[in-house]
Amino acid sequence: MKLYFDSSCPLCRSFAKLLQKHLSGEVETIPLPQGEQAQEFELVFNGETLRGKEAIDTLVKEVPRVKDFFWMLPDSYRGKAVHKTYALGRLFRRLSKFFSGKCEECKK
């Protein structure tokens, strides 16, 4: 399983470091080449490239230990916490790109 991430995004880099530290061997994190930005995480699993919510769904299903990052929550909330954190991260990325003037999509 390989997770490609935007190396220019501080949240993406932090998440990749967290995965490397706690799930090394289960998930390989690969930064996209400088200047190439992903709109969403890209997860390659069983030869298929998944993006966004579908990638996170697969990550949670296939590597359930990712839910342990939210150890302080009851088990029944942990999967939802991963999804909500991803959604908030997407919002943060858009806002940071918008305010920095680097969001081409926001200029339309």
The answer to whether 41 touches 4, Cβ cutoff 8 Å, is: yes
- pLDDT confidence of 47, banded at 50, 70, 90? very high
Instruction: For 71-91, write each residue's pLDDT tens digit.
Output: 898 888 888 888 888 888 778
The answer to whether 1 touches 26, Cβ cutoff 8 Å, is: yes
What's the predicted TM-score (pTM) here? 0.72
What is the residue range of 68's domain?
2-107
Element (H, E) at 88: helix 75-100
Q: How many domains does the chain have?
A: 1
Q: How many residues are present in the chain? A: 108
